[in-house]
Structure 1
Amino acid sequence: MEKWKVVVTDWEYEDLRYEQKVLSDSRIELIPAQCKTEQDMIDICRDADGLINQYAPISRKVIESLERCRVITRYGVGVNTVDLEAATEKGICVANVPDYCMDEVSDHALGLLLSVTRKIAPANQFVKSGKWDFKLTQPIYRLRGRTLGLVGFGRIPQALAEKVRPLGLRVIAYDPFVPQQVAIEKGVELVTLDQLCQTSDIVSVHAPLTSATQGLIGERQFAQMKQDAFIINTSRGPVIDEAALIEALRKESIAGAGLDVVEEEPIHPEHPLLSFDNVVLTPHVAWYSEESAAEMRCKAALGIADVLLYGEYPKYLVNHQLKGKVPLRDRQSDTRYESGLYSVLQ
């Protein structure tokens, strides 16, 4: 009977109970590891058939050292820890979990939006320091009738667009990969990035981190924004050019920011962003709820099972170029995911 070795390269959870339940088949040996470096990955994963990855670097050098690997799944949406080109060249399926935290991240973006525009964080500090005076928060502007610009218009920003509609916000979006018809159906106007920056009162960033989106919001974009505009980021820190953001805040050319992510995490204790009263920071927590964490872990493991146990392409395959080039079948249904999640999460 064929057996497979699956390595969890790294994780920050108290245990691996969800992964173990999903991959409880006797043919699978689940190996917990806490790889920190490229060499750790090479030493531990060389003979693995599958990898579940969080932050450990799966570089070209690591991928070229893999002797048997057929599938890599990532906890979460982003796949920036994996050299996709190298994995594709080697015929390794890469999968993510793009739909586990749509509500959590869109809720968090909305929370940051309300916090910065209503100046809740500084107002809280004023009161706690003995200052009961609304004038300290001036100016605050009414949200109804103002414009929210979404950078990226995938699942999460589409959910956010629905949630802000009752607030009376006009919603526009920049996403060169979204068909016009999708935006029309969602009641959102697609615009260029320049138009979005010039028009928006709040800019909310939802673009994935790729070589094309790194520094997407930079000096040019901040120069185009209104002086009373706010920027929100719940995607990845490097999508915003942090130096340009800090300069815009210093020059008061924008009104403030709500950030769940920064370029280097955790943020350094002396980071300039910590000195601004008009910046609200949270510790990359937008994705998190007890339910979303469990769902993400189950779905990452199910992506491994798709390939190794069932000989199918993973449900959330990222490198679609492999379709028809590796000996896997197309998926027949999602019953396995629905029943698997139900049984594991009970």
Structure 2
Amino acid sequence: MKGTVVVTDFEFADLELEREILDGAGYKLVSAQASSPGELLEVCAHADGVINQYAQITAEVIKGLKSAKVISRYGIGVNTIDVDAATRAGIAVANVPDGSLHEVSEHAAAMILSLSRGLNELGNSVRSGRWDYTAAGRLFRLRGRTLGLIGFGHIPQTLVGKLSGFGLNVLAYDPYADPTVAEALGVRLVKLDELLAASAFVSVHVPLTAGTKHLIGARELGMMRSDGVLINTSRGPVVDEKALVVALKSGQIAGAGLDVFETEPMPADHPLCTLSNVVLSPHAAWYSEDSEAEIRRKTTENVVEILNGRECARLVNRV
């Protein structure tokens, strides 16, 4: 065997897909369900490559990696990995930014459509024996309304295409956006405050960093329209949940669609669970059988490419 690759943690039924790829490339797979720094160091200290899902690969853990050349994360976000520490240690970090573009954009679209038609409230009214088309309150057609995208990477760009037939005006806030891409998609780039004030639907698509934590807080929610709804399929801590609960309960905003939360799993007694104007899902926007297979395959291929000294197109850092 050329070396060892450790999967720190996973929620799949098995690792046969990863094992087949690694076996074929001459690497031994070691599976774990580690979470604490001690557990991670025990299994990863002498690994040549590390595959990671939710376990936190901190600077402390990275310091204890004696042989690692690469850490590859399932999915797009790398907030579980201290990328700066990995870079200083000469360890490549890779991800899969294109594994669930369709799934996440479709999930965001589904939440927008569900909230725009009041499907939670209407469904509850039928189940309770109340046959009332006004149970969801005031509803408005989508055509002519404004969708605001916070972040304008590949997922929100894909979302624009999927919603193009609904006649929405689209704004985006992203300091790093390419104006030519926005223009080609018919999207107007604006400041965050303008987007919040103008949009009936605000959909969040930014990574979790020190600069984006609680990007949407009490101030930002206060700038939204009273008939506006917030969609978050990115990372939970980007939104201040306490402020969001207050805004929803007070009628400051009309609703929310949330796939991600500040604490996951979200406690069953969380106030968000009691609100009928909130659509919830358990960090599932990324998932389909197709995307799971693609993400697992590409995550493992990242490791093989880097360990074999080949160019990896999905590198997050440069070492």
| Range into which the TM-score falls when normalised by the shorter chain | over 0.9
Structure 1 range deviating more: 262-271 or 294-303: 262-271
Matched, 1:54 2:53: yes
Q: For residues 133 and 194 of structure 1, what CA distance do their matches in structure 2 show?
A: 37
Query: Which residue is 1:9 aligned to?
Result: 8
1:306–1:315 contact (8 Å) kept in structure 2: no
Amino acid at match of 1:207: V
Deviations 1:170-197 (A, max 9, x none): 1110111112112112211111111110
Task: Report the alpha carbon displacement of residue 57 of structure 1 after superposing the two structures with TM.
Answer: 1.3
Amino acid at match of 1:319: N
Q: For residues 262 and 180 of structure 2, what CA distance do their matches in structure 1 show?
A: 34
Q: For residues 166 and 57 of structure 1, what CA distance do their matches in structure 2 show?
A: 41
Query: Which residue is 1:294 aligned to?
Result: 293
Q: Where does 1:144-159 land on structure 2 (aligned, <5 Å)?
A: 144-159=143-158
- Residues 288 and 185 (structure 1), Cα distance of their counterparts in 2 relative to 1, 3 Å cut: same
Q: For residues 246 and 161 of structure 2, what CA distance do their matches in structure 1 show?
A: 32
Deviations 1:85-144 (A, max 9, x none): 100000100000000111111111000001111000111111011111112222001110
Query: Which residue is 1:248 aligned to?
Result: 247
SS of structure 2 residue aligned to 1:82: coil
Task: Report the alpha carbon displacement of residue 26 of structure 1 after superposing the two structures with TM.
Answer: 6.0
Q: Where does 1:182-201 land on structure 2 (aligned, <5 Å)?
A: 182-201=181-200
Query: Which residue is 2:312 aligned to?
Result: 314
Q: For residues 120 and 311 of structure 2, what CA distance do their matches in structure 1 show?
A: 46
2:302–2:312 contact (8 Å) kept in structure 1: yes
Deviations 1:185-211 (A, max 9, x none): 221111111111011010001111111
Q: For residues 95 and 318 of structure 1, what CA distance do their matches in structure 2 show?
A: 5
Gaps of 5+ in 2: none
SS of structure 2 residue aligned to 1:24: helix
Query: Which residue is 1:219 aligned to?
Result: 218
Structure 1 range deviating more: 19-28 or 102-111: 19-28
1:227–1:255 contact (8 Å) kept in structure 2: yes
Amino acid at match of 1:315: A
Task: Report the alpha carbon displacement of residue 165 of structure 1 after superposing the two structures with TM.
Answer: 1.3
Q: Where does 1:135-214 land on structure 2 (aligned, <5 Å)?
A: 135-214=134-213
1:147–1:199 contact (8 Å) kept in structure 2: yes
Task: Report the alpha carbon displacement of residue 27 of structure 1 after superposing the two structures with TM.
Answer: 3.0
Q: For residues 229 and 26 of structure 2, what CA distance do their matches in structure 1 show?
A: 52
Matched, 1:263 2:276: no
Amino acid at match of 2:140: Y
TM-score under structure 1 length normalisation:
0.90
Q: Where does 1:20-169 land on structure 2 (aligned, <5 Å)?
A: 20-25=19-24, 27-169=26-168
Task: Report the alpha carbon displacement of residue 312 of structure 1 after superposing the two structures with TM.
Answer: 2.2
Task: Report the alpha carbon displacement of residue 17 of structure 1 after superposing the two structures with TM.
Answer: 1.3
Matched, 1:229 2:233: no
1:234–1:261 contact (8 Å) kept in structure 2: yes
Q: For residues 129 and 242 of structure 1, what CA distance do their matches in structure 2 show?
A: 29
Deviations 1:230-267 (A, max 9, x none): 01111111111111111111221000001111111111
Q: For residues 49 and 226 of structure 1, what CA distance do their matches in structure 2 show?
A: 52
Task: Report the alpha carbon displacement of residue 25 of structure 1 after superposing the two structures with TM.
Answer: 3.2
Q: Where does 1:277-288 land on structure 2 (aligned, <5 Å)?
A: 277-288=276-287
Amino acid at match of 1:316: R
Amino acid at match of 1:281: L
Q: For residues 71 and 92 of structure 2, what CA distance do their matches in structure 1 show?
A: 6
Q: For residues 128 and 169 of structure 1, what CA distance do their matches in structure 2 show?
A: 32
Amino acid at match of 2:239: I
Amino acid at match of 1:312: R
2:25–2:304 contact (8 Å) kept in structure 1: no
SS of structure 2 residue aligned to 1:135: coil
SS of structure 1 residue aligned to 2:24: coil
Q: For residues 64 and 265 of structure 2, what CA distance do their matches in structure 1 show?
A: 30
Q: For residues 286 and 11 of structure 2, what CA distance do their matches in structure 1 show?
A: 14
SS of structure 1 residue aligned to 2:17: helix
Gaps of 5+ in 1: 323-346
